[in-house]
Amino acid sequence: MMTFEWPWLFLALLLPLLMRWLPPIRTEIGAALYLPLCAELPTTADVPSPRNRSQYLLIAGLAWMLLVIAAARPQWLGEPVGLPIAGRDLLLALDISGSMAQEDYELNGRAVSRLAAVQAVATRFVERRNQDRLGLIVFGSQAYLQTPLTFDGATVATMLNDAVIGLAGRETAIGDAIALAIKRLREQPDGQRVLILLTDGQNTAGTLAPVDAAKLAAQAEVRIHTIGIGGGEVGIRTPFGMRLLRQGSDFDAATLKQIAEMTGGQFFTATNREQLEAVYSQLDQLEPNARDQRTFRPHRELFVWPAAGALLLSIGLALVTLGRQR
């Protein structure tokens, strides 16, 4: 909608009427020089007719009104936009080692890999965190920062879904992934540093042990929630049809639980997609999305249009007056 920054300036519209109602200023006429040349000048002037005078007054009044409107600073206010104020600086550390290719999860009625199930559920989790700054770390034999902390959740979701098994190596460097997260989170405000670590294996690579990395995280006040996945049922084709076999858990549950306890986080296990979705729902409650109700309404200044109109009317009035005098 349109609004005015200084609406009180509309009182200036009454100034021409005020000048008309005020009594004229009278001055005493003193002695004057007599110029014989003036007697030869014509005594009649080209006085505009009453109709032309009314037109002049109308144009001048319109120009004055446009000037007052411009001085009142008309503005066009856009739709309210929520301020992107983060409640958390939250990093996701995703295991993309070779074991994540095992198809022991079900999605839309078909067997999918562990990574595909995680991508489907974690994407919805990222979309719900629209007031947080999110980042993504992927790790295998080495850990890499895939997306730095950003308010652009769509980009984080895209990079999450583009993760490929084996891109960072076939082994699992949990300690290095935690160390990389600490490096990215330690400069952020206290109480907002959160890491969600998701893995299906034991630490088999890297230069830093997971427990040592957890000690550094506790010192840096980085809270780590750990999620162990896998250990579900896998379908095996046999001469007697499809047979479901339950796999053993590859992840080191004791170490993951210790990491979470040392840093003030929680440890979760998810052997199927339903449990994985429940884990992310619990994380939404443990790490609430702090929403700020303040909004910002973008505005655009419009004073240039009435000011330009007043200028054009003034130029036109001046040209007509000069034409009549000639």
CA quadruple 251, 142, 124, 255: dihedral positive or negative? positive
Q: Beta strand 105-107 with 74-77: parallel, antiparallel or unpaired?
A: unpaired
CA 28 to CA 229: how far, in whole Å?
103
Q: Name the 3-class secondary structure at 246.
A: strand
Q: What is the domain-level CATH number for residue 274?
A: 3.40.50.410
Q: How many CB atoms lie under 10 A from the CB of residue 278?
A: 14
pLDDT of the residue at 14: 85
Do the domain assignments include residue 279?
A: yes
Query: What residues are paired with 197 via a beta bridge?
Result: 93, 226
Taking only the tens of pLDDT, the chain with its 326 residues reads: 788 888 898 888 888 877 777 776 655 555 555 555 555 555 544 555 666 677 778 888 888 899 999 999 888 887 776 655 546 788 999 999 888 888 878 777 778 888 888 888 888 888 888 778 899 999 999 999 999 998 888 999 999 999 998 888 889 999 999 999 999 988 877 777 899 999 888 888 888 999 999 999 999 999 999 998 876 555 545 555 545 444 545 678 889 999 999 999 999 888 777 888 888 888 877 776 655 456 667 778 888 898 998 899 888 888 877 766 66
Residues 253 and 304 in one domain: no
Q: How many domains does the chain have?
A: 2
CA–chain centroid gap for 302, Å, is: 26
pLDDT of the residue at 108: 78
Residues 66 and 104 in one domain: no
pLDDT of the residue at 239: 54
Do the domain assignments include residue 42?
A: no
Do residues 188 and 89 lie in contact, with contact meaning Cβ atoms separated by under 8 Å?
Answer: yes
Do the domain assignments include residue 31?
A: no
**What's the pTM value of the predicted model, to 2 decimals?**
0.60
Residues 75 and 147 in one domain: no
Do the domain assignments include residue 33?
A: no
Residues 263 and 302 in one domain: no
Residues 115 and 255 in one domain: yes
Q: 274: domain range?
A: 89-286
Residues 168 and 229 in one domain: yes
Do the domain assignments include residue 209?
A: yes
Residues 107 and 229 in one domain: yes
Residues 61 and 210 in one domain: no
Residues 165 and 234 in one domain: yes
Residues 148 and 1 in one domain: no
- From its phi and psi, is residue 2 left (phi > 0), alpha (psi between -120 and 50) or beta? beta
Do the domain assignments include residue 260?
A: yes
Do the domain assignments include residue 63?
A: yes
Residues 277 and 199 in one domain: yes
Residues 188 and 316 in one domain: no
Do the domain assignments include residue 122?
A: yes
CA 16 to CA 23: how far, in whole Å?
13
